[in-house]
Amino acid sequence: MFQVNPHYAKLPGSYLFAEIGRRVRAFQAANTDINVISLGIGDVSVPLTPAVIKALHEATDEMGTKSSFKGYGPEQGYDFLREAIVASDYKARGMDIGADEVFVSDGAKCDVGNFQELFADDVRIAVTDPVYPVYVDSNAMSGRTGSFVNDNWDKLIYLPCTAENNFVPDFPKETPDVIYLCYPNNPTGTVLNRDALKAWVDYARNNGAIILYDSAYKAFISGDDIPHSIYEIDGAREVAVEFRSYSKTAGFTGLRCAYTVVPKDIQVKGQKVDLNAMWNRRQCTKYNGCPYIVQKAAAAVHSAEGQAESAAIVKGYMDNATKVRQTLKNMGMEVYGGEHAPYVWIRTPKLGNGYTPSWDFFQHVLDNAHVVCTPGAGFGPSGETYARFTAFAAPANTDEALARLKASL
């Protein structure tokens, strides 16, 4: 008898940002005269930079000329981009990554969601809590997380990150096979210092686990004390896969380009696990590569002009983050993150007795300040009395949103 994948029926409601979009559209439909400002989903507001636009134009012209037209590209990405990534993101910072360990794609969200296909159905998954929902939902779709009972997946290993442990996850009681880490962290905006990240790499090596390390926000780190890549830690090449993106740093959320680094020496307890060959096989089978013109645009991000332009964009967003942090702090809120990340994480203030549940806080802020935030519960059970504000809105909108929050909270 025909059956759909039964695990989809266990997923709670809709995807977090789809649900937020639904609620905002409902509010907007009932209040057509109100200009709602989003500090919700981390979507960028600064347009593509001159170096990127120039590369797009040139590559577009190449596609219209017989001698330079390109059909299918390599599934792994063009060498010119893989080599630019290795040179500017790894070799320049003293890390040993080969171009054949870099897989270019159309998004870190897709890669991080797809990568779990390489693991057996019964591997135990650990995630920090709160967490970017893609890690959890993609494993839930494959049936690895068990049942969703009382807002918890019963087979998922949660690593709570709250103000109480300073947002540094403790090692779990049960030993996971796969550990998802994201630093700078989405949603809390907090970071792991070198010692804390080393402790996790050592833990993975000693316990036979693989780390899937999402460093999509590494460009927002200031200073060199915080690791930008997990491969800055000795031994990480044996246990870690790293995901990166052009979305937030170079304004590619609409253009789409990212990459995943899968080292060739991954091993579990001394046994080689050739995830590089497996990911290559998976990508060759299911993916035809990121468009040539987009890869040319991404390569331009690594040029001297491109790097300077991206740095200026990041600085603008971090100026917003500082304003959001300061304003919410001055309003008496408990504020975290936002120093090395474009996300500010707050403890929801007491609107009645005790901390406000995060969806109630979301609705209160939407109804009264006409500002969208992201409710912490959408990122996991430990987010229940927290909310996230992004620094990605235009500065004028950020100022206006903060003025409205001050007036209404």
Q: Which is nearer to ligand MLT, 41 or 331 (CB)?
A: 41
Output the smallest distance, CB 226 to ligand MLT, in A.
20
Q: Which is nearer to ligand MLT, 186 or 320 (CB)?
A: 186
Give the per-residue contact string, 109-148, with ligand MLT (x = CB under 6 A; - = no): x----------------------x----------------
Q: How far apart are CA 70 and CA 80, in angstroms?
A: 14
Q: Is 189 in the site for ligand MLT (CB under 6 A)?
A: no
Output the smallest distance, CB 317 to ligand MLT, in A.
12
Q: Which is nearer to ligand MLT, 132 or 246 (CB)?
A: 132
Task: Tell me how far apart the terminal alpha carbons of the chain are, to the nearest angstrom.
Answer: 55
Total site size for ligand MLT, rule CB under 6 A: 6
Within 349-368, which residues bind ligand MLT (CB under 6 A)?
Answer: none
Cβ-contact 379, 182 below 8 angstroms? no
Output the smallest distance, CB 40 to ligand MLT, in A.
7
**Burial of residue 29 (number of CB atoms within 10 Å: 0-12, 13-18, 19+):** exposed
38, 116, 145, 186: which one contacts ligand MLT (CB under 6 A)?
A: 186
Within 212-271, which residues bind ligand MLT (CB under 6 A)?
Answer: none
Output the smallest distance, CB 235 to ligand MLT, in A.
29
Output the smallest distance, CB 68 to ligand MLT, in A.
33
Give the per-residue contact string, 16-45, with ligand MLT (x = CB under 6 A; - = no): -------------------------xxx--
Reported as half-sphere exposure (CB side, CA atoms, 13 A), residue 373 has a value of 33
Give the per-residue contact string, 57-96, with ligand MLT (x = CB under 6 A; - = no): ----------------------------------------
Output the smallest distance, CB 42 to ligand MLT, in A.
3
Q: How far apart are CA 263 and CA 209, in angstroms?
A: 15
Reported as half-sphere exposure (CB side, CA atoms, 13 A), residue 56 has a value of 13
Q: List residues binding ligand MLT (CB under 6 A).
A: 41-43, 109, 132, 186
